[in-house]
Amino acid sequence: MFGQVLRLKHERVAEQLAREIRAGRLTLGSQLPGEHALATRFDVSRNTVRQALADLIRQGLIETRSGKGSFVTFDGRAIDDRLGWSRALAEQGVPTTVRILRLELVREPEPAERFDLASTEYVAVDRLRSLDEGRAISIERSLIPATGPLRDLPEQGLAGSLYAALRSAGLTPVQGEEWVDLSRVTQSDAELLGCAPGDLYLRTQRLSRDARGEFVEYVESLLNPDRFRLHLRFGEASE
């Protein structure tokens, strides 16, 4: 009985704080009151507060910094990645910088076989995305058609976003499919992302096609789970 009461108490605290964060009363980057203050406010023990804070961390709403306290990491902005992370983040006013890790012509038979694509030759574009403060939040590895002006990208360089380059080549992603799972970060990726090898990151794989069904882009992204969450929306059932 005691264990049930304790569980309900820490859930009640977590739910109230989560509502305040999502409503914007506790804003991105703000510091939560200390454990003692929260325990007094909710009339619970500090152990209950710690459990509530652990729940909020698992939900991606806060993070704790050793010796400093707990800070809000949720900013309330929904990111729609159907047209790529660069455009989606820019539309939401999230300031990021992008570092090109690789830009070269490659032959990759596996995607062609997996997705029934006409060619095994692509332009590979690997990017490291970071917040303006310097913290890396994702690695994005794209394969795009090695046709038309896109074929010259390795020599000419990528000026602007990859989405803009695709659009200028007459390729606009409007349909496709996406897969999401958890992946352990390799040693080399951990060095880029500033995390520990073996840490779990969200891995998305997205295949985009244009209105005619022609291949536009295949991109595999590693996303910091402290910064990204997946939200799927389903249509209402018909009568």
Q: What is the pLDDT of residues 62-77, one digit of tens each?
A: 888 877 888 887 666 5
Sheet holding 121-131, edge to edge: 96-107, 121-131, 136-145, 215-223, 200-209, 175-184
Q: Which helix (H) or strand (E) holds 56?
A: helix 46-58
Which residue ranges of the chain lie beneath pLDDT 70?
A: 1-7, 74-95, 132-133, 229-239
By the 8 A CB rule, do 42 and 12 touch?
yes
Would the pTM of this model clear 0.85, i.e. be above it?
no
pLDDT at position 134 = 76
